[in-house]
Amino acid sequence: MLPQFLPNTIPNWIGGAQVEAQSGEVFQKVSPHSGVQLYRVASSGISDIQRAVQIATHAQPDWAGMTPVRRGELLLNLAQVMRDYRDDIAAVVALETGMSFCAAQAETAVAIAQGEFMAGEGRRLYGRTATSATPHKYASLVRQPVGVAGLIIAANTPIANIAWKVFPALICGNAAVVKAAEDAPATAWLFGRLARQAGLAPGVLNIVQGLGEQAGAPLVAHPDVGVVSFTGSTEVGRVIATVAAQRLAKVSLELGGKNPLIVCDDADLEKAVDWSLLAAFSNAGQRCAAASRIIVFDAVYGQFRDQLVERTRKLRLGPEDGDDLGPVINERQLNHMLSAVEDARKKGAAILTGGTRLGGAAHGKGFYMAPTIIEQVAPRDAISLQELFGPITCLYRVKNFDQALCMANDSPYGLTASIHTRNIDRAMEFTRRIQAGVAVVNGGTHGSEPHMPFGGTKMSGNGTREPGREALEVYSDLKAVYINVSAEIH
């Protein structure tokens, strides 16, 4: 059911006001569950981006002129308003993504926690003091804002993704222009409304709806955008990095993953199956940190495979709280997955379960991909290398720890990784040698906390980290300050 507070056309927030795209153009947002239109969305273009950046540029000095403590107080207000309206936020997230209301509530709680943590950084926006080789000279480092932050949001966990970028960008004293995810426009719109309610000055936070090429590209290219943060595919990340490099803008890229989960011969198999199901299939596998490669020791391969397949076939698909996973975000994404699975099958892969689009009265009108497990694929096959961003995982058989680690690292990506073992020596060696930004022992490949940095190596990013205190490095610059004093004291 469409919440009554949503407008028929989702507008932009620019300068504290709700405005349509200057062209008057719109696009449709449809339900991933039913395929029916939910509402229309402002289809912004370069003129809308230019106006948003101009207003953000004018608003930024006053925002930066506040003490970091005061900025933190206002951002804490926003987090508290989000808590007051958490059911409304969750309802919109569930509507736009097709996830259950319960899952959307959990995501909203993560976003609120991120806001509360980052608001506290207003009292910890530390530089540092240093020493000087010159007598009567004092040296220190202070943080200063970059200016205007261009934030490009992904739709898989939309309110969490917004919080990950907006709160650290603003606490550092930047103004922000958010390019909302085209598949989750109302989530961004509602966040903008709550920000105004929380007391953020007009122009400090601007939210622009639109498609990537029409709205995202001009935001990346705008000469007054000092830092660009993007979460999405590696392919688009490369383009963004290239464009931003032409004007030497700061860039933060959180990109794809093909994340390994290793099951050793001494693993607690029941827990390993539990975590594999969650890591591979929760949120319909639409996580950059999803476990899409499950690497299993020979000694337990058959037992683990049979348990995982049996449990997977029992998963319930739908948008209700009793369901295990919902649809994927749009039909284009679904068709891409189906094509990749069919290509793997033609090349000799065995589809143990799933591999098809769900039909019938309950699922046929939506974008439901059956949870899919594939075996008999090689580590360098296309399906082993390509991020599909859906409920699809592949099984691989290995002899021992060294072979498992080698296979885990034999990937163009390096975002997250997990191992299941009772051997502490093996676990510690895994955390040391795995080529990933996040290493987990006896858990899933997914899951992060507001105070911990997240990001990857290789094609999974450009070395930056969000969230955690490390996000401050993205959204602030360091200024070295030297003060020379007289040796004579009167």
Active centre residues (catalytic): 254, 288
Distance between CA atoms of residues 113 and 317, nearest Å = 28
Strand order in the sheet with 175-179: 17-19, 12-14, 205-208, 175-179, 148-152, 227-231, 250-254
Residues sharing a CB contact under 8 Å with residue 367, sequence separation 6 or more, in sequence order: 32, 35, 98, 327, 328, 329, 330, 331, 333, 334
Per-residue exposure over 331-363, b if at least 16 CB sit within 10 Å of its own CB, e if not: eebbebbbebbeebbeeebebbbbbebbeeeeb
Helix boundaries (H) for 36-183:
46-65, 68-84, 86-97, 101-120, 158-171
**Under a CB-based contact definition with an 8 Å cutoff, are residues 329 and 97 in contact?**
yes
Distance between CA atoms of residues 232 and 255, nearest Å = 5
Distance between CA atoms of residues 144 and 158, nearest Å = 28
| CA angle at 112 for the pair 91 and 189, rounded to the nearest 5° | 50
What is the phi/psi pair of residue 183, to 5°? -95, 0
Give me the DSSP letters along 156-219.
Answer: SSHHHHHHHHHHHHHHTT-EEEEE--TTSHHHHHHHHHHHHHHTPPTTTEEEE---IIIIIHHH
How many Cα atoms within 13 Å fall on the side-chain side of residue 288? 28
Amino acid at 87: D
DSSP 323: -
